[in-house]
Amino acid sequence: MNKLELLRTFVRVSELSSFTQAADSLGLPRSTVSDQIQALEELLGTRLLQRTTRKVRATQDGLLLHERSRELLAQMDELEGLFRQDATALSGRIRVDMPTVLARKVVMPRLVEFTDLHPGVELEVSSTDRRVDLVREGFDLVLRVGPLLDTSLVARPLGAFPVVNVASRAYLATHGVPHSLEDLAGHRLVHYVSILGSRPPGFEYLASGRVHYLPMAGSLTVNNAEAYSAACLGGLGLIQVPRHGVREFLESGELVAFLPEFQAPPLEVTLLYAHRRLPRRVRAFMEWLELVVQEQAAPQGA
């Protein structure tokens, strides 16, 4: 039995946490996938997956094998394509995660450009504001906006998104336009936090080269970028958001920018991946994604 095929099947089951879903994505009967996992476990002499009635989870040995297998399979893909320089020959799956608004506003409208160039590549795009675990969840690339917490990953800076202070025209008509930090005392802020229950920092602004936080009242806290903008459009308060996410509303006049001299620092945009050696298809998508994002971002440190 082909050992590489066993590894590919194992990686797919581990990523999807399901024999059935892995079988569907690989175009194999579920019984074949189960037999291949059993054969791999017998070959290695260890239990790789913990099966329950609801989910399949990798054991500690399975987690180790998953990481090593992804690297090995990437090397094999690179070897197979070493003498095929025709870009249209790219094939295989790419799994990427990115923030919701970035996917909807920036990447998805342009994605057909990449798929037309590389019709043999299968893309899986996860869009969530949750910080996914790149290695454990089996992503090839993760696009992050904001501070980085994953120090063990390879980071490729793409630039930074300028942040703007905005409120709905209706809200400002009722509460007035703030012209100074002191004026914010009479306003409400829609709070954004990654984890509900954590303490919101308040109004963020850059002054004299330092970041400051001004506590502000607010009746709403959200943990989703789409809800954040929707709350502002609904007149629930002020928000601080990357300009690309609200450009259409600024142009239409539904949202109005204020206090341009007291804005939060730009949010850094970074591509993360686990290994420097990537399959050609992943490198091609990474380079395309970099060009698309940089059209919306300012240079790093600008």
Please state the φ and ψ torsions of residue 220, each to the nearest 5 degrees.
-140, 135
Residues 277 and 248 in one domain: no
Burial class (CB in 10 A: 0-12, 13-18, 19+), 73: middle
pTM of the model: 0.69
pLDDT for the residue numbered 137: 76
Residues 284 and 229 in one domain: no
Domain boundary among the residues 52, 80, 108 is at: 80
pLDDT for the residue numbered 53: 67
Please state the φ and ψ torsions of residue 270, each to the nearest 5 degrees.
-140, 140
Residues 123 and 136 in one domain: yes
Residues listed for the chain: 302
User: 12 to each of 20, 57, 241, 253, 278, how far by Cα in Å?
Assistant: 11, 12, 36, 47, 18
Residues 151 and 172 in one domain: no
Residues 154 and 193 in one domain: no
pLDDT for the residue numbered 84: 59
Residues 59 and 99 in one domain: no
Domain boundary among the residues 34, 62, 80 is at: 80
Q: At CA 248, angle to CA 178 and CA 165, rounded to 5? A: 25
How far is 118 from 30, CA to CA, in rounded Å? 29
Residues 167 and 253 in one domain: yes
Residues 233 and 192 in one domain: yes
Burial 205-236 (b: 16+ CB within 10 A, else e): beeeeeeeeeebebebbbbebebbbebbbebb
Residue span of the structural domain in which 209 resides: 163-257
Residues 154 and 280 in one domain: yes
Residues 244 and 176 in one domain: yes
Alpha helical stretches, state H, the chain: 3-16, 19-26, 30-44, 60-80, 100-102, 111-117, 169-175, 225-233, 243-252, 280-294
Which residue, 234, 232, 236, is CA-closest to 164?
232
pLDDT for the residue numbered 82: 60
Per-residue pLDDT 10s for the chain (302 aa) are 688 888 888 888 887 888 888 888 778 898 898 888 998 888 889 999 888 767 788 888 888 888 788 778 777 766 766 665 554 577 788 889 998 888 988 899 999 999 998 998 889 998 888 887 777 777 889 998 887 776 678 888 988 889 999 999 999 999 999 999 999 998 999 999 887 878 888 999 998 889 999 999 988 999 888 899 999 999 999 999 999 889 999 999 999 999 999 999 998 898 988 876 778 888 899 999 999 988 877 655 44
Domain boundary among the residues 80, 107, 123 is at: 80
CATH number at residue 192: 3.40.190.10
Residues 101 and 39 in one domain: no
Counted domains in the chain: 3
Q: Is residue 139 within 8 Å of residue 130, measured between CB atoms?
A: no
CATH number at residue 70: 1.10.10.10
Residues 276 and 293 in one domain: yes
